[in-house]
């Protein structure tokens, strides 16, 4: 068995290879003068694990090229983060269902696929091969416990993420709630927990994805105004686009933590263990 990682998922690919006691294939990545991408991986075994988060167009092309390069092997595709998954339906005439288009393109030539906290699990059927979506909730709980927050209030950013917060809170026997947004006038909104008070409490906002950080920054400022002792956040997929780092830091937020499904300076815990377990069980 060989593990092959894309250029932006080398660390998590290495962690998975260590847990599988498998070789991590040396892979060359380069670019032709016209901008086309080139990949070359080392000798392939009968079974290959391709690991790559879909974070941009280049990683999509690299995944397609690696799948083709390993065509003589039994391929398991591990997508720690699947971009384009949030467009899972057509909202306007002429729009693509992006999740379907990407899944169908990646499903060709592979035997099975594993994702982590894909935004909409129903899209797994678009791959056309057996697909498994793993949960990182035990890893999130372990990370929160390791930091040693004092009786944190686990808070979802909205009602849609309440179940996610509830599952994390249940793991650690913590209280949880979700934020509700009330528009006060044309320029001002209020965000506060639905049931519980935050005064003098450590608040931990949890979500599957942090993208631009705008809602999180606003929530942090308002919760601090409501007397929260500190506001921290933990997510699965940390995109942190469009100046999110500066925005979050200026909001007064404390710790910002994400997994290594997208490898950034905020990666504080790893998705490698549940992904490896899924590989072994498939």
Mean pLDDT over 63-70 rounds to 96
pLDDT digits (tens, 9 = 90+) for 144-186: 999 999 889 999 988 889 999 999 999 889 999 998 877 655 5
- Same-domain status, 124 and 15: yes
pLDDT digits (tens, 9 = 90+) for 224-275: 988 999 999 999 999 999 889 889 989 999 999 999 999 999 999 999 999 9
- Same-domain status, 194 and 221: yes
Which pLDDT score, from 0 to 100, does residue 189 have?
61
- Same-domain status, 142 and 248: yes
R_g (Cα) of the chain, nearest Å: 20
pLDDT class of 3 with cuts at 50, 70, 90: very high
Q: Write down the pTM of the prediction.
A: 0.92
- Same-domain status, 118 and 225: no
Give the catalytic positions in this structure. Answer: 181
- Same-domain status, 18 and 129: yes
CATH number at residue 11: 3.40.50.2020
Final residue before a domain boundary, out of 134, 154, 169: 134
Domain span at residue 101? 2-134
Mean pLDDT over 197-217 rounds to 92
Q: Is residue 40 part of a domain?
A: yes
pLDDT digits (tens, 9 = 90+) for 32-61: 999 999 999 988 889 999 999 999 999 999
Q: Is residue 282 part of a domain?
A: no
Final residue before a domain boundary, out of 134, 150, 185: 134
Which pLDDT score, from 0 to 100, does residue 207 have?
94
Final residue before a domain boundary, out of 86, 105, 134: 134
Tokens for 31, please give them: 């670019």
- Does the pLDDT at position 77 exceed 70? yes
Interior/surface letters 164-194, b for 16+ CB within 10 angstroms, e for the rest: bbebbbebbebebbbbeeeeeeeeeeebbbe
Domain count, the chain: 2
Residue 255 CB contacts under 8 Å (≥ 6 apart), including other chains? 147, 232, 233
User: What mean pLDDT value characterizes the chain?
Assistant: 92
């Amino acid at each position: 068995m060989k593990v092959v990682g894309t250029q932006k998922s080398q660390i998590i690919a290495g962690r998975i290879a260590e847990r599988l006691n498998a070789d991590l294939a040396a892979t060359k990545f380069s670019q032709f003068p016209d901008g086309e991408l080139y990949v070359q991986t080392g000798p392939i075994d009968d079974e290959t694990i391709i690991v790559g988060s879909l974070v941009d167009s280049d990683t999509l092309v690299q995944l397609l090229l690696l799948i083709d390069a390993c065509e003589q092997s039994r391929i398991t595709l591990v997508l720690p983060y699947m971009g384009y998954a949030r467009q899972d339906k057509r909202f306007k005439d002429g729009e693509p269902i992006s999740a379907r288009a990407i899944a169908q393109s990646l499903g060709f030539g592979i035997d099975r696929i594993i994702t982590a906290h894909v935004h909409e699990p129903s899209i797994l059927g678009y791959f056309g091969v057996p697909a498994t979506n793993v949960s990182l909730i035990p890893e999130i709980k372990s990370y929160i416990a390791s930091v040693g927050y004092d009786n944190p209030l686990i808070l979802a950013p909205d009602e849609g993420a309440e179940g996610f917060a509830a599952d994390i809170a249940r793991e650690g026997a913590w209280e949880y709630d979700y934020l509700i947004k009330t528009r006060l006038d044309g320029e001002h909104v209020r965000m506060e927990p639905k049931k519980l008070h935050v005064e003098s409490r450590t608040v931990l906002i949890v979500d599957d994805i942090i993208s631009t950080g705008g809602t999180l920054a606003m929530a942090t400022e308002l919760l601090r105004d409501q007397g929260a002792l500190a506001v921290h956040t933990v997510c699965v997929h940390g995109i942190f686009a469009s100046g999110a780092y500066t925005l979050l830091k200026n909001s007064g937020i404390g710790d910002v933590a994400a997994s290594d499904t997208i490898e950034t300076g905020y990666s504080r815990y790893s998705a490698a263990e549940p992904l490896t377990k899924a590989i072994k069980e498939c």
